[in-house]
Amino acid sequence: MSLRWIPNAISLLRIVLVAPVLILLARGDFGAALLLFLIAGSSDGLDGFLAHRYGWQSRLGALLDPIADKLLVAGMFIMLAAIGLIPVWLAVVVLLRDVVIVSGAAAYHFLIEPVEGEPTGISKLNTTVQLLFLVFVLSRAAFGWPDEIAVTVLGAATFVTVFVSGIDYVLRWSGRARERGRHEA
């Protein structure tokens, strides 16, 4: 029996965990929400490791993994803003960046050529900072740790990396589109 399905199953599990995490947040059960969020976050690393280590990559996995990530992170930012644990403007900035990137990728895909996902260094840094920020916010809400200043600094770092990585994607992909247009002209 082939085990190639395991990374996809892990991504599906991450998608399934989104609703319980958000429900726990809405109920104010921040400790349990943090635990499930950490499990979901760990599953992201695990499915990627298994897919790359054993050659279990698939087209479905290439779609499920980023969808699972976006649902979890977007859901967390929306819910944390809704319950007043983070500023609404920060959640809007994070979501707006993702909308711009997904819209740009869709336009490029349909108007120019298929897009292969290739996260940049700043994008990977942004993801790491966002996840740390979410962990810190949840940990502070659940256990009163870390200090507010740590959460504020990570919130500022989240804003900066969201902004820089969003601009980076726009410049990178619009440059590719212009270059592609020159070669076809």
Task: Report pLDDT for 185.
Answer: 64
Residue 145, phi then psi, degrees to nearest 5: -135, 140
Task: Report pLDDT for 136.
Answer: 98
Task: Report pLDDT for 18.
Answer: 97
**How large is the average pLDDT for residues 17-42?**
97
171-156-27-43 Cα dihedral, nearest 10 degrees: 60
**How large is the average pLDDT for residues 110-134?**
89
**How large is the average pLDDT for residues 168-175?**
92
Task: Report pLDDT for 27.
Answer: 98
Q: Which fold has domain 6-184?
A: Four Helix Bundle (Hemerythrin (Met), subunit A) (1.20.120)
pLDDT in tens, 47-68: 989 999 999 999 899 889 989 9
Cα atoms found within 13 Å of the Cα of residue 63, Cβ hemisphere only: 3
CA 153 to chain centre: 19
Which has more confidence, 129 or 116? 129
Task: Report pLDDT for 105.
Answer: 87
Q: Quick check: 81 and 90 in contact, CB under 8 A? A: yes
- Using CA of residue 142, residue 143, residue 149, residue 151, what is the dihedral sign? negative
CA distance 174 to 185: 16
Give domain limits for the chain: 6-184
Q: Quick check: 56 and 6 in contact, CB under 8 A? A: yes
